Amino acid sequence: MGMTWLESFSRSIARHAGEAVREEVLRGSENLGSRPTPSRRARWVGGAMERLEALVDEETVRRIMIDTCPHTYPRKRIERMRRLYGQSGSIDELLEAMYSDASYGGTSYYDSPRREGDTVYINKVPCNPKSYEKAETELDRKLAYCHCPWVRAALRTGEAVPPSFCHCSTSWDRQLWEGVLGRPVDVEVVKSLLKGDEHCVHAFRLP
């Protein structure tokens, strides 16, 4: 069984900020249970992020959240894109292949990337494309769009969660790009649902 989000969050806090900060931020997590209600889940994670932001600086929060995501990008997809890039040597051809992919419910598995200079913008595709298309309310669209159960819980209940939480989501595409390029890439959250935007956009600086 893979690591849960909470276990990964705990490990990342300890790595980047130390045990004392970890204990303070995770206060109350033992009461969540294995299947917390959306309200309890959202209230706890909102408080945890507020405690984290009060205890460490902005860059440390960013590093903690980027390293929190417990999900592993499919190696076959990374290898496929790395081979394509190795054959062509062209970022633009790589982006075209990613953009034209339609294997995720008719949308791009690679989040429809586009390039502006040395920056690649990743416009996250809906988690549930069919439900997103059929959604009749703004809330339903956001719930179908977001990939994160913690954020969806906050959207359902109206609980406030700091936007810095969404740095966690950048790890998914970061795994792909670092695997393809074979070197670290810098990433920034440009838009997110927690910022009040309709879509989530990540910006990757090409080495």
Tens-digit pLDDT profile for residues 185-204: 999 999 999 999 999 999 99
Residue 13 has pLDDT above 70, yes or no: yes
Residue 207 has pLDDT above 90, yes or no: no
Q: pLDDT-derived band of residue 34, with 50, 70 and 90 as boundaries?
A: confident
Domain 75-205 has CATH 3.30.1380: yes
Residue 33 is predicted with a pLDDT of: 80
Domains of the chain by residue range:
5-66, 75-205
Task: Give the mean model confidence (pLDDT) for residues 152-168.
Answer: 96
- HSE toward the beta carbon, residue 56, CA cutoff 13 A: 24
List pLDDT tens digits, range 126-151: 999 999 999 999 999 999 999 999 99
Question: Minimal CA–CA distance to 144: which of 157, 158, 133?
Answer: 133
List pLDDT tens digits, range 66-91: 999 999 999 999 999 999 999 999 99
Residue 65 is predicted with a pLDDT of: 97
Residue 8 is predicted with a pLDDT of: 96
Residue 1 is predicted with a pLDDT of: 44
Task: Give the mean model confidence (pLDDT) for residues 158-166.
Answer: 96
| Mean per-residue pLDDT of the chain | 94
Signed CA dihedral, 4, 5, 7, 8: sign only: positive
To the nearest whole percent, how much of the chain has pLDDT over 90? 93
CA distance 77 to 110: 9
